[in-house]
Structure 1
Amino acid sequence: MSTMSVPEKAADAMDAEGTVRRQVFEYLPVSLFGSVMGLTGLSVAWRLASHRYGPPSVIADAIGWIALAAFAALVVAYGAKAVTAPRTVVAEFNHPIAGNLFGTILISLLLIPILLVRSAPALAKGIWIAGAAGMVVFAWTIVNRWMGSRQQLAHATPAWVVPVVGLLDIPLALPALDLPAAHPVAVFALSVGLFFALPLFTLIFSRLLFEEPLPAALRPTLMILIAPFAVGFSSYVAVTGRVDGFAEALYMLTLFFLAVLVGRLRNLPFCPFRVSWWAVSFPLSASAATALRYADATGSAWADGIALALLAFASIVIAGLAVRTLAGIARGELRTLST
């Protein structure tokens, strides 16, 4: 999702004994796990397209392997940050905006089982259980934080959607995992996620209307506002097994807000690149997956056209983000791109 680092720390720090300790990847934002979410979502979308339109499944597999490689690399890099710069990690977690984005790690754990279930079903189930438990605890922690002290309206950014509305990601893998005992957990996640989506969206929308515009680094996070509708659709279909009037309403809302927000971010490609741009990846891939599920359920030509257009758009954008990020890493610009 978005890049919202706390202020950068010095590269070296003194430990309790006065020894200089080298900090590794202290600039790396936890929100970069949003890239894993975007890649995983794109793999799922291509899998759905393969079932409906017939393109080779190797495309979905390749994107899935890239997502797994990105997750492994980020776990190692952010793990090194946690070990060598623990105070920076704690400060990031306690930050009123960036702290919400620790949910991107847990959402990644909820999505990765979709990629692993065919080759390693036991591992996929274990990862999903860990991700679901962690997501529930994280949502409870953040809601308690919100209610435990007075919040500032300026901090009500789209990142606030992640901790609680992120519960909507819990049911997504269940149809493939064959865990009937987890159905009550899916219903719980769907209920809480949809319940909190309405007040949080209203609060964030009010902040966007009446407060100062978002800083440039946070503007890509506007796309997160699509998640309650796009992910809500897929989660609702996963739990109920049908596309009914309520699901169709979520799909239509997805299309409307996608059109609005893409227009709002139309100048983004002309701005200096930052890894915060990955915030657009998961909402786009989730929107494409939603459109593909809707097209499969309705069978209408116009729905197919929208689904294919969104799949192509998400694929082009995410490919561009990946190429630019890898080029920046190769040139040693990751620190600059993370600010």
Structure 2
Amino acid sequence: MSSLVARLPLVPASFFGIVLGVIGLGSTWRVAHQLWTLPSAIGEGLMALGILIWAAVLLFFVLKWIVSAEAARAEALHPVQCCYVGLAGVSTMLVGVAVQPYHHIAALCIYFVGLVFTLGFALWRTGHLWRGGCDPAASTPVLYLPTVAGSFVTAIGAGALGFPDWGKLAFGSGLFSWLAVESVLLHRLYTLEPLAPGIRPALGIQLAPATVGALAYLSVSEGPPDMVVYALIGYGLLQLLLLVRLLPWILEQPVSAGYWGFTFGLTALAGSLLRMVLRGDTGPAATMAPIVFGAVNLIMAALMLRTLWVLVAGKILPPVVAASAPKTAT
């Protein structure tokens, strides 16, 4: 048994971000199939791949709590890594959305389990933050994950599963959580020391609130695209340009699994533009949609290949017995 434990990979909660990127891309291909009659098999294949990755990451994540509970607790209390734990619920809700076309009841059950975990973790983590005593230097874009990402994906799932009015409540929760958290993050980025190279890839998450918010808004609304979704896309494009401008600085950290933080925001941007065109937009969204869709697919393909190579080389996952516990939050 001990030899088996020694060979188990210590999967970090941040790996759930891979699920968000792959299922996000699959969802975009589903819309592309509706809009341009592109092969449906690509979108469904990506959805299946995302579900398989989710199942594998979830299995190892649960095993970590069983065979190395100390390391798992340390991760959950870490001032930065803790927020990735919320992605376990967020990714589960997205799996429910992926399953929806095939079995509505199963999709509802999976979505509900993810929703309960997401809400519970968001309340636990945010309640901890509200008590104060946190190091301002630990404020990074991962703070968006528990409440902002959780709420917007709740809205996306609610819309997909036939509960758009409930999704509107979740959209409001995500929107105002985003505005509150962003003020804290920008103050930290503007006034404190630069982010260390190892944490800079987390800046990719900065793209997600606006673009995932746009996708959430489209999921719970009807009719032609309006000023609200255009405003969200516009802010998302500004964040994207800022990230491109900072890319040489961010890339001082070698490309690794941390760069999956970019992917959910990128796929949400492509998916939102395609949905706007599908709903009758003939303006800027129609111009940008094919360009962004193509670029996002190229980026995702490159990142998938890079991640696969790193995994095969064994450079991401240390064995449980070799892992050191991260510094816990005060």
1:153 counterpart = 2:136: yes
Contact 1:220/1:265 (CA < 8 Å) preserved in 2? no
Contact 1:23/1:84 (CA < 8 Å) preserved in 2? no
Contact 2:97/2:111 (CA < 8 Å) preserved in 1? no
Deviation at 1:90, TM superposition (A): 0.5
Q: Identify which of 20, 28, 47 aligns with 1:45.
A: 28
Q: Which residue is 1:116 aligned to? A: 99
1:61-82, Cα deviation, whole Å (9 max, x unpaired): 1111111111111122222222
1:281-304, Cα deviation, whole Å (9 max, x unpaired): 111111111121223334326422
Contact 2:148/2:178 (CA < 8 Å) preserved in 1? yes
CA RMSD of aligned residues (A): 2.4
Residue identity matched to 1:253:
Y
Deviation at 1:268, TM superposition (A): 5.3
1:126 counterpart = 2:126: no
Instruction: Count how many residue pairs are aligned between Structure 1 and Structure 2.
Output: 319
Alignment of 1:209-224 (within 5 A): 209-224=190-205
Q: Which residue is 1:171 aligned to? A: 155
1:183 counterpart = 2:165: yes
Q: Give the 4+ runs in structure 1 shifted more than 6 A.
A: none
Q: Which residue is 1:82 aligned to? A: 65
Relative distance call for 1:304 and 1:44 in structure 2 (3 A) is: same
Mean CA deviation greater in 236-245 or 115-124: 236-245
Q: 1:268 & 1:332 partners in 2: Cα distance?
A: 23
Point out where structure 1 has 5 or more consecutive residues left out of the alignment. Answer: 1-11, 13-18
Contact 1:117/1:177 (CA < 8 Å) preserved in 2? yes
SS class of match (1:160): helix
Contact 1:45/1:292 (CA < 8 Å) preserved in 2? yes
Contact 1:21/1:84 (CA < 8 Å) preserved in 2? no
Q: Which residue is 2:293 aligned to? A: 311
Q: 1:312 & 1:116 partners in 2: Cα distance?
A: 25
Give % identity.
25
1:139-166, Cα deviation, whole Å (9 max, x unpaired): 1111110012322211110000111102
SS class of match (2:134): coil
Deviation at 1:219, TM superposition (A): 1.3
Contact 1:24/1:84 (CA < 8 Å) preserved in 2? no
Alignment of 1:21-40 (within 5 A): 22-23=5-6, 25=8, 27-40=10-23
Residue identity matched to 1:171:
A
Residue identity matched to 1:202:
S
Q: Which residue is 1:205 aligned to? A: 186
Contact 1:171/1:190 (CA < 8 Å) preserved in 2? yes
Relative distance call for 1:331 and 1:143 in structure 2 (3 A) is: closer
1:231 counterpart = 2:215: no
Point out where structure 2 has 5 or more consecutive residues left out of the alignment. Answer: 325-330
Residue identity matched to 1:43:
G
Q: Identify which of 257, 271, 276 aligns with 1:275.
A: 257
1:113-136, Cα deviation, whole Å (9 max, x unpaired): 221111222111101111112212
Q: 1:33 & 1:319 partners in 2: Cα distance?
A: 18
Q: Identify which of 82, 89, 101 aligns with 1:106.
A: 89
After TM superposition, the score normalised by the length of structure 1 is 0.87
Q: 1:108 & 1:20 partners in 2: Cα distance?
A: 31
